[in-house]
Every structure is written in structure tokens, then in C-alpha cells.
Structure 1
Amino acid sequence: MSFVSHFHSDGWFRDLLCISWNFRTLSGSENIREFLSEVVDGKSRLEHSGLRDFKLDDHTVNSPSPFKFPGPQGIEGVQGAFTFSITNPAALGRGFFYLTRDVDGTWRALTLFTNMQELVGYEESSTNQYGLYEGQKFSSEEYVDAKFRAIEADPTVLIVGGGQSGLTCAARLGRLGIRALVIEKNARVGDTWRQRYPNLTLHTPAYMSSILYSPYPTNFPKYIPKGKLADFLESYAANHELCIWLSSIVAPNPMYDSSSARWTVEIQRGDQKVILHPKHLVLATGGGTPRIPTWNGMDEFQGTLYHSDFHQDAEQFRGKRVVVVGACNASGDICQDFVAHGAAEVTMVQRSATCVVSSTTAEKTYFKVPFPESNPIEDLDFRSNSMPRAFLLQLNKLGGTQHAKMLDEELHEGLRKAGFNLTWELEPGSGEVGLDGFATNRLGAGMMIDVGCGKLIVEGKVKVKQGQDISHLDKDGVVFQDGSKLSANVIVLATGNEPVLKTAGAFLGDKIAEQLSSMVWGFDSEGELGQTYRPSGHPGLWFAIGSFVVTRFFSKHLGLQILARELGIA
């Protein structure tokens, strides 16, 4: 196949929906050839898709330009975007390439990315057009009310969860002409943020964390506080005319009828029970329920014990001894909160090593490079996602992580002296993937973007106890396997959340859960996110979770897949 000859022998090909109705990443020319040669309707995948009309994109920030990857290998070449058409289905695509010279001097693809942008004839609309129609005196309020009534009567998509992922997907589906109803258990949009601990802010800067279609006001702080973000999400839902049922709970064990290809879902809306029959069910319920370890003696502890998800008021524990079990983002923020509110002693129990990157270094290396503030976020999302995730982690192992570590050398040395264990590997000996690996493969578990707790640890204001083997709790505190003990008035379990599939399985029931992959989120064997914004293994069931960056980009792919199924072309 002549197409494959344009790749390096160890080149990478990432395809999102152009060659198959899925997300695929292939490494090595032979694997690429095998994928493209698979037979679909009597033709190879490549021939069947009919990619054509290739044109360089020379009007955006992704116009062809030289590049050089950081690291000792000195990989450099030419990068750029292009557009193309797809024959089957009739669609428009956009791609991105990184070209380098082969040993014989020939330019070949180090990576190639192809991405479906629009289905022809069903393009995403930019706005809702309404007002006073000729011959009909409909006001905008009446138009929105009628639209909501139509959605509520027969939603094509039911989205469970009204956080940023659920809202983003609803906005995207609306632009594609798909009726989407959002079910939110809280009384207000944004309450999932309002109800979290007081000093919470986004750990990623506002310029890369904007929500789809709606940049934040220019007077917003770089790291947005939870309350301001919650209010913005509430206004977002109103401004984008999203149909949301608040204070509503979806009953467990929804039923799917394969003959009608519809779900039967029971919803408790206030004091009213409602039965809906959507074609698609999107679970946008976040990262799972709190993970609460079980130790002997938890009922005997005479102080206050709770999970970090429920941390609210550090002031009430002024002058008290605090133990926080866990050493990642939530633990760091909560330890800072206790110190700021005059706790007598704050001790962080670190049970396993943590990947720590200061917020300054994270911005320099992980945020600002792929997301410079002056450029359109859509173009930056596209370029950022053009890179195969597994190849990015490979680059990190070859020098990218080492560069970030050098910038934080003083912080890391201070943390080690204070007894804090550091790592940049997902598994011992697997290579230093750094922040990218923990964020994408573990949904942020095991990492800390340090916004101040590191300094408190170095200064001894937050003590560190290595305690992988907690034996039990007694009435006064935490007892470890070696017989040592931490006395405490307050114990906070910053122990993370259960896997998404465990939480979803409890809601969906065993019959449906058994049909799903063992992994939602995390990397599959090709380095793509497992069952997220892509087929889940069960018809009409989708998972939509992740950061603003992830949801902003992949909500489009979720919408295209649902639209294609509604059109009967997937």
C-alpha cells in the first residue's frame, strides 16, 4: 500500500472516526498497513473511506512550520494541518502531520492525524436563529419554552450529570440538532463545584480550561475559584438554552430494549416520577464515588472522620490535631486549608509515592506550550489532540519529564528531606511519563499540581508520615503496622474515588455492566481513552468524563457518533 510507504517504519497514525467509527492509534508501518487493509463492504478501509481533496491549511496557527521536540534526541522537522473530504460517509475532515527526514533524506510521517469534523448536510450550527417570525408572533422566550417541551416529551439523548461534561455535551448536541435532556441531582447548576472544599480552585489556568463556545471574562483570575466557576456554569446553561431537570434523580437499573433501540429510564423529579425512553444514555457523572478504606476501629475513633469530598469548614478545627490520609491534589489543598485556619498540627499520611509538579512548572511545560493564550482555543485543541497519547508519553520518557523535573529541582529536594516520596512513573521501571501520564491514564490520581502545600511541607508546617500499612484506628487516632501512632482530633480520608466503571456498574446493574469493557478512562492497548466518548460495548450507552480540555474536544466526536447512528450511516 503506497500510502503506508510515506510513514517512518516506527511512525504513528491516529484516526478519529474517518477510517472507522471509533478512535484508533496504530504504531509502526506494519500495524498501520494491517488496519488500513481490513475489508469493509468488499474494500479496504482506506479505499472504503475515500479520503480525497487534500489541502494544506495555511490560514490558522496550525499552518506548516518547523518544530523541535524537547529532549536529547533533537527530533525536528515540519508540522502542519490540512483539510480533506471523506466519501463514505460524506464528511469533512481535518488532519495534522509531523514530518521528519528518514535516514535516506526522504521526508516521512513521524505522526499523522485524521479527524472527522462534520457530516456533510448536518454541519454544526453556530447560533440559534429565532425572534419574531413572519406571520407568527413568537417571542424568544416562547421559542425556548416550546423547544424545551419538545425535548422533554421525547429526548433523543438523556445526559446523567450536569457538571461541565454534561453541560458541554448538551451544548454540542444542541448545535448538531439533537434533542438532549440533562438530569442533575443538585438544586442548582454548578453545585457540584459549590459544595466542595472552600479553597478549591482550578489547577489548570483559565486560558486552557474554558468551556465550549464560551471563553471566560477577561477579568477572571488565572486559576478560577470554585464559586466563580459554579456561577459561570449556571449562566452557561442559561445562555446556551440547555434543557435541565434539577433536583432530579435517575433510578438504578435502566432497561434497554434492543428491538426498539430505546432505554426505559425512571426519574424522580421532585415529588414526581417520570418515565422516559431516550435512544441514548450518556453518563457524565464525574470520576466515581468516594473511595473510603475499611480499617478496624473506625467506629471507635472519638474525633471527626470524613472523606475529602465532604471537607467544608477547617475553621471549626482551629487548634486541633489533623491527620490527612493521602498525598495528592485534594490532600494538598486540604492541608493548606487547615494550616491557614490555625490547626495545631497537620500531618499528611503518604501511602505511596506522588508525582509532584509545581503550578509554575506545569504552566511553563504542560499548559502554556500547547495552549498559548493568544490563539483560538479550537485550533489549539486540534493540534494538542493530533499527537498520539502513547507517543507523547514516549517523548516524556525520552527527556520531556526530565526537563520539567529540573525546573522543580529545589522543591523536590526539599520534599525529599521532609520525608515525602516522589515518582514520575505509573509503575516502577515503566519510564517517567510525568504529569501527562497521571492525568490521562489515571484521571489525576497519584499526582499533585503544587499550589502551595509543597512549601508548607518543606517548612515543616505540614508533617509527612510514611504509612502505607495502616493497621487500625483507635479512639485517639491512627495506628500503623509498625506500632507507631498518630494522635488526631480530625482524620480526613483524601483517598480518591472509586473507578468510574464500579460506580456506573452499581447504577446500570450487572446485566449491562457485564457487557462493558473492564476499563472506562485510562489507556487501552493503543493509547486511546477506554470507552470514553466512544462506543462503550453496549448500544446506546456512552461515557463522558474528564477535564474541560478533554470534554471540549471530544464532545464533538460523541455528537458525530450519535448523529451518525440517528441517520443510519454508522
Structure 2
Amino acid sequence: MATEDLHAISADWLKSLEIASSTGDAKSFVSHFVSDGWFRDLLCFSWDHRTLSGLGKIRGFLSEVVDGKSRLEHSSLRDFKIDDHTINAPSPFKLPGSQGIEGVQGAFTFSITNPAALGRGFFRLTQDTNGKWKALTLFTNMEDLVGYEESFADQHGLYEDRTITWEGDVDAKFRAIEADPTVLIVGGGQSGLMFAARLRRLGIRALIIEKNARIGDCWRQRYPTLTLHTPAYQSSILYSPYPTNFPKYIPKGKLANFLETYAVNQELCIWLSSTITSAPIYDSLSARWTVEVQHGDQKAILNPKHLVLATGSGSPHIPTWNGMDGFQGALYHSDYHKDAEQFRGKRVVVVGAGNASGDICQDFVAHGAAEVTLVQRSATCVTSCSFTPINTPIEELDFRSNSMPLAFSLQLTKSGGIQHVKMLDKELHDGLRKAGFNLTWELSPGSGEVGLEGFLFGRLGSGSSAFGFVPETVLDIGCGKLIIEGRVKVKQGQDISHFNKDGITFKDGSKLSADVVVLATGNEPIMKTTRALLGDEVTDRLIPPVVWGLDSEGELNQIYRPSGHPGLWFAVGPFGAARFFSKHLGLQILARELGIA
């Protein structure tokens, strides 16, 4: 299809949609969708993340009354313009899956009347049974509040008052933040840092408290061979791309150092070696928290309006089996793995079959362990780390990726979209099966194959890997080859009976002798960490009582959206989530500070 035709189809549909939107005609607006169309809205029609599927649900949402008007009339989106100036200009698309759906896709900009804001959207049009172009998916996304747009200019440089220095200016801003932070961010990992950087651009005072002595220690202190399992491009940091000479897969120490310099370069106010000493108290009258913080050797009382938990995955999940105390070898969780060299010539058993297990098995093999056996307690979803280089700016890729409703994406995968991915890894998968390694692409038997994305979004806050009762996931960076070659042996052992002094006994009576046992058994749910930090009174108010996983509409529970408790937010997840959704959480907090949410 010619570029002119793509543009004409998009322009005609968009012009008609704008008329329906600006006049508040919900019936006409919904008629622009195919019967099984999807609508994803981030903050344009409500101060939340919403996904609606089917004409009835879309119309019902847009017809709900807000301040005496329907949502559609109240928000009154208008000034629709095709975005011709980015990689997301109108183009053809074909979706994965057995249906082979194809059509025209593209981005557009618009304004929002109430609140006064700017937005950007993305459509995927396909032809209905009558040959008319209608939306298969429509995404509307708030970008900025008018008059409070995110600043991209460096606020320092030449000062009219030549007595002011950059160092002095930054120090004065830090003192103001420490005296009265609007937002207190708990956790100085990549999510907390990116969110603080976003708030700074929005003019909101944010203080980070980090329990470690240095920024980056949450990575720096992990096992020596750890590298990111996604390419540097996909793991980009907000506002600050990695240097072009960085490796494709960034080692944990290099990432830690980068985060430390990022905090300095983004001028983020951080208290290191700082922890919350008792459960914070929220006062509904003042709409502020009282938070007692141990800051080094001093205690401080802070009263932020917003408390953001950016604490990452939970504490190590360590199962208990009879006889563990009597095991005479080394026994520890994978989070505490430091030095494989000291176990050269020893027999090693690694319990678990996720990413950490694979990394640690590779480490033991490389350092001359006499024997390495991986205990696989449930089937694993394995995908190789073979990514095709992409030239699309990461911000545009984030926007396009998030324009696709998550539930619809999983539906496409179940309908056959996973087959192409499996085909690319056929040799790896065949070799793993032959070596006795169980594979799956289903979260539960018979639920449909969803692959890596489904495992990422489908987990109900269970942490970085499974506890043994749901499948685990692996982005393979070499352990698969070791398993196929027999250098890492596989033991199917979902049911461990007990430990004895020289190894593990399974319920079927089989045994594994070991000098070292590493429990690569994942981490506790984030909600468990939350309850320990905030106490029962606050945690019991969270709706739903789970962080991560998908809600009934297909949006992520709690992440960068209202938690159910005023002034409490969660900023966790992969690099891409922090890059993209930090803006949405920033806008929600800004709107509350302005009194318009």
C-alpha cells in the first residue's frame, strides 16, 4: 500500500473520530471500532490505567458520569493530528497469530480539555466485514499537563547573578528537598532513580532513601558473573543512554557504576545508608505521612505527601526441608552466591531452573566444579538471548509497545504468535528435551501458550522466579548449551523429601550427593516486603492486595497507578516499565498537587 493511501486512510478515520470525541458522542465514538476492538487509556479519561475490550465495555466506560457529564464529554479530546514526524507515522502492520490480522497503524497527537493537557495516541486499523476501516486497538496517553510540561532544558549554566555557582545552586535545592520533600522514594535502584529524575523534570521535590552505602550496590553486591539478560538498548536508562562502547549485555558492576554516576548527573537528592525504622503513619486530615528514618547515625522525621516504594523484588525465598541443619556442606540462597572458585573440585547441586540458576551453574562449571546438577522442580519457559538490532529510538519503541493492550497481546500469542519464537529456538529446545530438561510455554496446563511475555505479566507478584508450583523462565545466555553438552546435569525433582548430611533425598527415594547446595528459589512476593515495611493497617487497604500480575482488564496491579491507599504508590518492574510509566506516576502526583485529580 502506498504511503499516500496509508495517510489518507488514517486521516479520514481520525477526522471522523475527532468529531465524535469533541461532541461527546459516545455511540459514534465506539462505532469507530471493530466489534471485538480494544481501547487502552492512560490518564486521559480517568486518573488510572484502563483497558476495555468489546464495544459494550468501551461505551460503558466513556458514558460513565464525571462532574455531571459523560467521561467522553468531560475530557473532550480534540485537535487530532497525525504524527508524521516520527518512526510511528502511518505504516502497514501484520499481527502475529493464526488469524494474520493486518492493516494500518500510526501515532497521533491531541489535546485534552479537562484537565488541560496534551496527549498522544496510537491506532491499529483493520477492515470490517463491510470493508470499512475501523480500530482494532486504540491507545490514548496523557503526555503533559498544560503549563506544567516536563522540562528538557538544563536549568544550569550561566547565572545572571555571578555569585551563584552550580554546586551552590544544587546544594540549596537539596536542602529545600530535605526540609520538605513532597515525595519520599524508598529504594535507590534503577526504578527509584528514574522516577526521581522524572519528578525533578516535573518540578516536584523528591528525596530517595537507600539502605545501601552506595547507589548501585543493589547490583554491585550480587553474584560476580551476573550480567543483564536483555541487551543494553532494551535496558536503557531514562534521559541517559549508555555510551556506544558499552557491551551488549552489561555486567552488574558496570551497571552499578553507571547508576551511581546517573544519580550525580541527574542531580538527585539521596540519603544513603538510610532505612525506615517503624511503620509510617498516614494522617488523612493533613494528607501527609509521618516517616521515621535512620539516616546514618541520625534519626529524622519526614512528612511527605507521597510515599513511593521502589524496593524491587522481595527478600530471598528460602524453602525449608527436614535435615537442612544437619547438611555438612555449604548451603545458601542464590542471592548470596559470591565465589565459585572456593568450590573447585566439589559436587554442586543448584535447586531451581530460572535465570539465576542458569547463571550460577555456568559459574561453577567455569571454575572447575567436579559435578554440577540442576534440580528442575517444574517445567521452564526458555528463550535464547538472540535479539535483532533495532534502530528505533527507545522512547518511540516504548510508546508503540505500550500502545498494545497487554491482554490482547497475550491473546494473540495464545492464538499462534508463540510459534515463530519457538521455531527460532528449535535447536536449543530439542537439545534441552533430549537432556531431560522439561519445557513449557503455558502458565498452567491447558491455559494456552503465552511465552516469555505471558510469564512476565502473568505472575501474581511472586518475585523474580517461581517457588516451584508455577513454571520458571529463562533468557538463556549459555547454560542451555552446558545442559545439552552434559556439563550441567538435570535432575527432575519437584518433590524434595529431606536433606541428609551429604546431600538431598527426594520423595521417590532417589538421592543426590553434594558438597554445595544453592537454592535458586526466587524471592518473596513484593506484598510481603510491603507488609513488613508498612504494617498491617496500611497494607490491608491496598486494592487488590497484590503487586504485579494483571487485573481483570489486563492492566498491571498497583504498578505506577493508584494503590487503594492515599499517597502510597509502587514503582517497580523492568527497565522499560520505569522509563515509560514513571511519567504517568509523575503526572498523577503532579495533578494531585495542583488539586485537579
TM-score of the two chains, using structure 2 as the length reference: 0.93
2:76 equivalent to 1:59: no
2 CA distance for matches of 1:473 and 1:322? 14
Aligned residues of 1:132 and 1:138 also touching (Cα < 8 A): no
2 CA distance for matches of 1:430 and 1:351? 20
Aligned residues of 1:71 and 1:403 also touching (Cα < 8 A): no
| Map of 1:552 onto structure 2 | 579
**Alpha-carbon displacement from aligned partner over 1:501-542 (angstroms, at most 9, x marks no partner):** 111111110001100122111111111110110001100000
Q: What pairs up with 1:523-534 in 2 under 5 angstroms?
A: 523-534=550-561
| Map of 1:407 onto structure 2 | 424
Aligned residues of 2:539 and 2:545 also touching (Cα < 8 A): no
| Map of 2:504 onto structure 1 | 478
2:374 equivalent to 1:357: no
| Map of 1:431 onto structure 2 | 448
Cα offset for 1:136? 5.3
| Map of 2:182 onto structure 1 | 156
| Map of 2:301 onto structure 1 | 275
Aligned residues of 2:316 and 2:333 also touching (Cα < 8 A): yes
| Map of 2:258 onto structure 1 | 232
Cα offset for 1:313? 0.4
**Alpha-carbon displacement from aligned partner over 1:297-331 (angstroms, at most 9, x marks no partner):** 11111111111111110000000111100001000
Which secondary structure state, in structure 2, belongs to the residue aligned with residue 265 of structure 1?
Answer: strand
Which secondary structure state, in structure 2, belongs to the residue aligned with residue 531 of structure 1?
Answer: coil
1 CA distance for matches of 2:279 and 2:62? 39
| Map of 2:215 onto structure 1 | 189
Cα offset for 1:100? 0.3
| Map of 1:45 onto structure 2 | 71
Gaps of at least 5 residues in structure 2 are 1-26, 466-471
2 CA distance for matches of 1:127 and 1:151? 21
Cα offset for 1:132? 4.8
Cα offset for 1:213? 0.2
| Map of 1:417 onto structure 2 | 434
| Map of 1:338 onto structure 2 | 364
2 CA distance for matches of 1:518 and 1:130? 43
Aligned residues of 2:274 and 2:293 also touching (Cα < 8 A): yes
Letter in 2 for 1:70: P
Aligned length: 561
**Alpha-carbon displacement from aligned partner over 1:446-502 (angstroms, at most 9, x marks no partner):** 100010000101111111111111111111111111111111111111000111111
| Map of 1:209 onto structure 2 | 235
| Map of 2:7 onto structure 1 | none
Pick from 538, 541, 564: which aligns with 2:591? 564
1 CA distance for matches of 2:350 and 2:155? 53
| Map of 2:346 onto structure 1 | 320
Aligned residues of 2:350 and 2:373 also touching (Cα < 8 A): yes
Change (3 A) 1:426 1:310: same
Pick from 97, 113, 127: which aligns with 1:87? 113
Pick from 64, 70, 87: which aligns with 2:96? 70
Cα offset for 1:129? 1.7
Q: What pairs up with 1:365-376 in 2 under 5 angstroms?
A: 372=390, 374-376=391-393
Which secondary structure state, in structure 1, belongs to the residue aligned with residue 28 of structure 2?
Answer: coil
1 CA distance for matches of 2:319 and 2:278? 24
Q: CA RMSD in A?
A: 1.0
TM-score of the two chains, using structure 1 as the length reference: 0.97
Cα offset for 1:441? 2.5
Over the matched positions of the two proteins, sequence identity in percent amounts to 77
| Map of 2:146 onto structure 1 | 120
Aligned residues of 2:313 and 2:464 also touching (Cα < 8 A): no
2 CA distance for matches of 1:548 and 1:72? 31
2 CA distance for matches of 1:59 and 1:429? 45
Which secondary structure state, in structure 2, belongs to the residue aligned with residue 208 of structure 1?
Answer: coil
**Alpha-carbon displacement from aligned partner over 1:9-61 (angstroms, at most 9, x marks no partner):** 10000000000000000011111111111111111111111111111100100
Which secondary structure state, in structure 2, belongs to the residue aligned with residue 207 of structure 1?
Answer: coil
| Map of 1:493 onto structure 2 | 519
Cα offset for 1:444? 5.3
Which secondary structure state, in structure 1, belongs to the residue aligned with residue 530 of structure 2?
Answer: helix
| Map of 2:570 onto structure 1 | 543
Gaps of at least 5 residues in structure 1 are none
Aligned residues of 1:438 and 1:444 also touching (Cα < 8 A): no
1 CA distance for matches of 2:587 and 2:265? 23
Aligned residues of 2:330 and 2:517 also touching (Cα < 8 A): yes
| Map of 2:286 onto structure 1 | 260
| Map of 1:506 onto structure 2 | 532
2 CA distance for matches of 1:123 and 1:433? 38
| Map of 2:11 onto structure 1 | none
| Map of 2:483 onto structure 1 | 457
| Map of 2:193 onto structure 1 | 167
Cα offset for 1:135? 3.9
| Map of 1:36 onto structure 2 | 62
2:405 equivalent to 1:378: no
1 CA distance for matches of 2:559 and 2:278? 21
Aligned residues of 1:280 and 1:540 also touching (Cα < 8 A): yes
